């Protein structure tokens, strides 16, 4: 009986330890999200404030100040990424400098999170950048699991709603430089609380099979 009782106690302690460990690893619900309204739909983004605090703070500031508004997505590669955030794209007449601009200072790398479908990564220059500093504004949405980018770029958020919008952008026809022939523009960015996001989500119509 003592052996059985001791075994039960050990199993209970082990189960509690596993539960505590899992609770520590679980990501806490976001307090607020970036709401990115584009010319083809709205995207909601959860920033990784614990894992990439410098990037999260920078993009929160960009969203609050409207710094990305009027910029279009300049690089689209199906099955790979949809990229934007370059202020040079505001000049629609000259696309030769698209992808070469940025807002503010470059950000120290905070590499560690995997490139999963729907995650948000920070673009950077590859040459002459041994520290892998990120662009101050250029970003990309991952269209698939991109293991080849792990360890090289900072992932600092993920799409919680609106991945269908990102997928639509990925379908656009492109020029030889992967720049979409039809410009999809960021119309407005803002920060919304988790409560307001839930209210907006509940107010949107849901579609299902008619019985």
- pLDDT tens, position by position, 82-93: 999 999 998 767
Task: Give the pLDDT band (50/70/90) at residue 18.
Answer: very low
Instruction: Express each pLDDT in 187-200 by its tens digit.
Output: 999 999 888 788 77
Burial of 139 (0-12, 13-18, 19+ CB in 10 A): buried
Residue 29 clears pLDDT 70, i.e. is over it: no
Closest CA relative to residue 67, chosen from 99, 110, 30, 36: 36
Task: Give the pLDDT band (50/70/90) at residue 2.
Answer: very low
168 membership: H or E segment, kind and range? helix 163-170
> Tell me, what's the pLDDT at 178?
95
Residue 138 clears pLDDT 60, i.e. is over it: yes
Residue 44 clears pLDDT 50, i.e. is over it: yes
Handedness of CA 21, 22, 23, 28 (dihedral sign): positive
Instruction: Express each pLDDT in 91-134 by its tens digit.
Output: 767 788 888 899 999 999 999 999 999 999 999 987 889 999 99
> Tell me, what's the pLDDT at 125?
85
> Tell me, what's the pLDDT at 5?
52
Separation in Å, CA 146 to CA 47, 58, 119: 19, 24, 10
More confident residue, 1 or 172: 172
Burial of 123 (0-12, 13-18, 19+ CB in 10 A): buried
Instruction: Express each pLDDT in 162-175 by its tens digit.
Output: 999 999 999 999 99
């Amino acid at each position: 009986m003592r052996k059985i009782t001791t075994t039960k106690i050990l199993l209970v302690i082990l189960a509690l330890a596993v539960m505590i460990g899992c609770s520590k690893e679980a990501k806490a619900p976001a307090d607020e999200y970036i709401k990115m309204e584009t010319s083809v739909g709205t995207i909601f983004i959860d920033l990784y404030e614990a894992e990439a605090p410098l990037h999260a703070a920078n993009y929160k500031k960009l969203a609050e100040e409207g710094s990305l508004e009027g910029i279009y997505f300049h690089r689209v590669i199906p099955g790979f990424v949809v990229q934007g955030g370059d202020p040079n794209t505001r000049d629609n007449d000259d696309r030769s400098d698209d992808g070469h601009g940025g807002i503010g200072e470059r950000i120290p790398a905070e590499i560690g999170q995997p490139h999963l479908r729907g995650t948000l990564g920070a673009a950077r220059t590859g040459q002459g950048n041994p520290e892998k500093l990120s662009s101050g504004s250029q970003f990309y949405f991952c269209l698939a699991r991109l293991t080849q980018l792990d360890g090289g770029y900072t992932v600092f958020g993920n799409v919680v709603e609106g991945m269908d919008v990102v997928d639509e952008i990925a379908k656009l026809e492109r020029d030889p430089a992967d720049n979409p022939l039809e410009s999809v523009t960021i119309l407005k960015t803002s920060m919304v609380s988790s409560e307001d996001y839930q209210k907006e989500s509940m107010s949107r119509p849901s579609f299902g099979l008619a019985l």
